[in-house]
C-alpha cells in the first residue's frame, strides 16, 4: 500500500509545482516586493512623462518582452496530457528494463500529439502526419517513444531531413501555404525521392485525417533493441492501438472544422479529461530476432518499411491512460523536450540511419529552443529518480550542488577513488560487432520503394481507395509545375496503374500506360474499378 501511495504521489509530482495563489496573497514583483498599484505607472505629474526610475513598470514590460521562445522547427502545433502506463504482460524474457517487466506498476507519462508542418497557432485538422510522443517517467530514468501515427517515414537517411522539412513547410518567398502539403515544393521533393512512396500512400489515405487524438494509432517506427539479463538482443517495434478504434474525418469535414474550430481535437481531449473521462491506448510490441529479419525481403533497418503483422503479430503488453490536463500549457506541453535517446537500461538503438541521425538532433535543437544546457532541469523534463553527475553551471542552472568535488576520479568526496564509481548496473550499449568500409552509400536491401506502397494499396477497401485517389487528385491539382505532376504520375504507375490512371484523368493528363495490368498479379474487382472510374476531381 505504501508503494501504491508513493506511486500516486509520483503521478501527481510531474510538473505539478504550481505557484500557490490565494486571495490573501499580495501582488509582488519578481523579487517579492509588494506592489501597491499595478495599473498606473510612475509619472512626473498626472499628465507628465513616465519616470525611468519606475522599476515596477520596467520589470513588468521587460518580462513581457521576453515571453516568447522559438517554436519547434517541426511539430510546433501540439497538445499534451498526463496519465500513466501500466504493464499487463512482462517482457522479462527479452529485457531488464523495469518499465517492461514490472507488471501492474503505474508509471507516469506525459503524451504530446502534434501536426508536423503547421506553426504553433495553426489548426488541428489539416491533412498531415501526426506526432505521437510519449514520455515514461520510470524509476530508471525517462524513456521517450517519439513516434508518429504512421508506421513508416518519408526518407531512409537523416541527412535528407532538412530538405524534406524545407520542402513541406510554407514556401520561403511568400510563406504559403500554411500547414498543407498541397504545393509545388513538397511534391517536387517527393517526386524526386522514390523512397517516400510508401509513406505518401499512408499520407494520402484517411490516416492523416484522424478524428480525435484517441482514434489514432501510434508507432515508434524504427526497429529498436531490447536486451535481456544475459546481454542477448531482440529487435522490437512499438505500437499504440486506441481503445476507441481508428476513426478518421473525411476531407470535407476536416476543412470545415478547420474554419469553425481550429482547436477541435485539443478541445475534445481537454473537455474529456476535464469532465472526468480518459483517453486510452493498448501498448503492443512486435518482437523478432536478427535471424528472422535476415530472411525477409525488406530491411528492418529501413524506416520506410513495416514488419507486416502477418509475419510478426503485435503482442499487447500494456495500456496507457491519459487522465490529467496540464496546469500550464507553456510549462508542460511547450517546454517538454522529447528525445529518442531517452532509453533505459535493457534497451538500445538499431542501425536504422534515420534513427541514428535523430540521436543527435533533439538534444541539439533544445539547446536553443529551451534556452541553454540546463533545459533538462525544467520540471516537465526532470526524471523521477535523482540526477548525479559532475555537470555544472551554465545558463539557468537550477540545481545547487554543494561541495568542492565536481570531477572524477576523486578521493576528496569521501568515496573511494575507483575508476567507475557509480557506473555499475547502469546503461550499457549492446556490443554489436562492427566492421566495414567508411562509405556514403545505402544498402541494396533498402532499394525496393514500391513493394510495400503496393501492399498498402492492396490492403485498402474500395472506399478507402476512393479517398486516397481523391486526396492525390486534390493535392496534385494544386501543383502548378506540370513536370512535377507528371513525375508523380509515373511513380503512381509503379505502385498501381489503376491508381495512376484515376489521378491522371482528374489532372487532365493522358491515361497512364495500362489500366488493366495488375502489378504483382493482384486483381481488382469489377465493382472497385467502376467505383474508381466515377471518382471526381
Q: Site residues (CB under 6 A) for ligand HEM?
A: 72-75, 78, 112, 114, 131, 133, 146-148, 153, 158, 161, 221, 303, 336-338, 354, 357-358, 361-362, 365-366, 369
Q: Are 492 and 472 in contact (CB under 8 A)?
A: yes
Cβ closest to ligand HEM, residue 151 vs residue 497: 151
- C-alpha cell read off for 370: 529551451
Helices (H), 182-296: 184-191, 197-203, 251-260, 264-274, 290-295
Cβ closest to ligand HEM, residue 78 vs residue 126: 78
Q: Are 387 and 140 in contact (CB under 8 A)?
A: no
B/e letters for 276-307, b = 16+ CB within 10 Å, e = fewer, are eeebbbbbbbbbbeeeebeeeebbbbbbbbbb
End-to-end Cα distance, the chain: 62
- Smallest gap from Cβ 109 to ligand HEM, in A, equals 13
Task: Give the C-alpha distances (Å, rounded to integers) separating 166 from 115, 117, 161, 187, 536.
Answer: 16, 10, 8, 12, 31
Give the whole-angstrom CA distance, residue 103 versus residue 83: 17
Tell me which of 6, 8, 62, 148 is the catalytic residue.
Answer: 148
Give the whole-angstrom CA distance, residue 150 versus residue 288: 20
The reply to whether 148 belongs to the active site is yes
- Smallest gap from Cβ 446 to ligand HEM, in A, equals 15
- Smallest gap from Cβ 467 to ligand HEM, in A, equals 23
Upper half-sphere CA count for residue 185 (Cβ side, 13 Å): 16
Cβ closest to ligand HEM, residue 369 vs residue 478: 369
- Smallest gap from Cβ 150 to ligand HEM, in A, equals 8
Cβ closest to ligand HEM, residue 216 vs residue 500: 216
Q: Are 340 and 423 in contact (CB under 8 A)?
A: no
The reply to whether 390 belongs to the active site is no
- Smallest gap from Cβ 59 to ligand HEM, in A, equals 29
**Residue 84: closest CA among 120, 155, 138:** 138
Cβ closest to ligand HEM, residue 308 vs residue 357: 357
Where do the DSSP E strands lie in 141-255?
Answer: 141-148, 218-219, 224-227, 233-242
B/e letters for 15-51, b = 16+ CB within 10 Å, e = fewer, are beeeeeeeeeeeeeeeeeeeeeeeeeeeeeeeeeeee
Cβ closest to ligand HEM, residue 273 vs residue 380: 380
Cβ closest to ligand HEM, residue 150 vs residue 209: 150
- C-alpha cell read off for 210: 484522424
Give the whole-angstrom CA distance, residue 93 versus residue 309: 21
**Residue 106: closest CA among 318, 415, 414:** 318
Upper half-sphere CA count for residue 369 (Cβ side, 13 Å): 19
Where do the DSSP E strands lie in 305-455?
Answer: 315-324, 347-348
- Smallest gap from Cβ 235 to ligand HEM, in A, equals 16
Sign of CA dihedral 238, 242, 131, 365: negative
Nearest residue to ligand HEM, scored by beta-carbon proximity? 131
Tell me which of 6, 33, 40, 75 is the catalytic residue.
Answer: 75
Cβ closest to ligand HEM, residue 224 vs residue 532: 224
- Smallest gap from Cβ 518 to ligand HEM, in A, equals 31
Number of residues assigned to the chain: 537
- Smallest gap from Cβ 370 to ligand HEM, in A, equals 8
Cβ closest to ligand HEM, residue 103 vs residue 331: 331
- Smallest gap from Cβ 93 to ligand HEM, in A, equals 27
Q: Which residue has the cell 536504422?
A: 352
Q: Which residues are catalytic?
A: 75, 148
Amino acid at each position: 500500500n505504501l508503494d501504491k501511495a508513493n506511486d500516486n504521489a509520483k503521478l501527481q509530482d510531474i510538473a505539478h509545482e504550481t505557484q500557490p495563489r490565494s486571495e490573501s496573497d499580495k501582488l509582488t514583483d519578481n523579487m517579492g516586493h509588494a506592489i501597491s498599484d499595478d495599473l498606473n505607472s510612475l509619472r512626473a505629474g498626472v499628465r507628465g512623462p513616465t519616470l525611468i526610475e519606475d522599476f515596477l513598470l520596467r520589470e513588468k514590460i521587460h518580462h513581457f518582452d521576453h515571453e516568447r521562445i522559438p517554436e519547434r522547427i517541426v511539430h510546433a502545433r501540439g497538445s499534451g496530457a498526463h496519465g500513466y502506463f501500466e504493464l499487463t504482460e512482462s517482457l522479462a524474457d527479452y529485457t531488464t528494463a523495469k518499465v517492461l517487466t514490472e507488471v501492474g506498476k503505474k508509471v507516469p507519462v506525459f503524451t504530446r500529439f502534434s501536426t508536423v508542418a503547421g506553426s504553433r497557432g495553426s489548426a488541428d485538422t489539416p491533412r498531415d502526419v501526426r506526432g505521437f510522443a510519449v514520455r515514461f517517467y520510470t524509476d530508471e530514468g525517462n524513456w521517450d517513444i517519439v513516434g508518429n501515427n504512421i508506421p513508416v517515414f518519408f526518407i531512409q537517411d537523416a541527412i535528407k531531413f532538412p530538405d524534406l522539412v524545407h520542402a513541406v513547410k510554407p514556401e520561403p518567398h511568400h510563406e504559403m501555404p500554411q500547414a498543407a502539403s498541397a504545393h509545388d515544393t513538397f511534391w517536387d521533393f517527393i517526386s524526386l525521392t522514390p523512397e517516400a512512396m510508401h509513406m505518401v500512400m499512408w499520407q494520402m489515405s484517411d490516416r492523416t485525417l484522424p478524428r480525435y487524438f484517441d482514434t489514432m494509432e501510434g508507432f515508434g517506427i524504427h526497429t529498436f533493441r531490447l536486451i535481456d539479463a544475459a546481454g542477448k538482443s531482440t529487435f522490437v517495434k512499438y505500437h499504440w492501438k486506441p481503445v476507441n478504434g481508428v476513426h478518421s474525418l473525411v476531407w470535407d469535414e476536416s476543412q470545415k472544422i478547420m474554419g469553425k474550430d481550429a482547436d477541435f481535437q485539443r478541445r475534445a481531449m481537454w473537455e474529456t479529461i476535464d469532465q472526468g473521462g480518459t483517453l486510452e491506448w493498448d501498448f503492443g510490441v512486435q518482437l523478432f530476432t536478427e535471424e528472422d529479419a535476415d530472411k525477409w525481403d525488406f530491411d528492418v533497418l529501413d524506416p520506410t518499411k513495416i514488419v507486416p503483422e502477418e509475419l510478426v503479430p503485435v503482442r499487447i503488453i500494456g495500456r496507457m491512460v491519459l487522465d490529467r490536463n496540464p496546469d500550464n500549457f507553456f510549462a508542460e506541453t511547450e517546454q517538454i523536450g522529447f528525445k529518442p535517446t531517452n532509453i533505459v537500461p535493457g534497451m538500445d538503438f538499431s542501425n536504422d540511419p534515420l534513427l541514428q541521425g535523430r540521436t543527435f538532433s533533439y538534444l541539439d535543437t533544445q539547446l536553443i529552443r529551451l534556452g541553454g544546457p540546463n533545459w533538462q532541469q525544467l520540471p516537465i523534463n526532470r526524471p523521477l529518480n535523482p540526477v548525479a553527475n559532475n555537470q555544472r553551471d551554465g545558463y539557468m542552472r537550477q540545481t545547487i550542488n554543494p561541495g568542492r568535488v565536481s570531477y572524477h576520479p576523486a578521493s576528496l568526496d569521501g568515496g573511494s577513488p575507483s575508476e567507475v564509481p557509480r557506473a555499475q548496473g547502469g546503461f550499457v550499449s549492446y556490443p554489436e560487432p562492427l566492421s566495414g568500409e567508411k562509405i556514403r552509400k545505402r544498402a541494396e536491401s533498402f532499394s525496393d520503394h514500391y513493394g510495400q506502397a503496393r501492399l498498402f494499396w492492396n490492403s485498402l477497401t474500395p472506399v478507402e481507395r476512393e479517398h486516397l485517389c481523391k486526396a492525390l487528385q486534390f493535392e496534385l491539382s494544386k501543383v502548378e509545375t506540370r513536370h512535377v505532376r507528371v513525375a508523380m504520375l509515373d511513380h503512381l504507375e509503379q505502385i498501381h496503374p489503376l491508381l495512376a490512371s484515376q489521378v491522371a484523368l482528374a489532372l487532365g493528363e493522358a491515361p497512364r500506360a495500362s489500366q488493366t495490368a495488375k502489378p504483382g498479379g493482384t486483381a481488382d474487382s469489377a465493382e472497385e474499378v467502376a467505383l474508381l472510374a466515377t471518382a471526381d476531381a
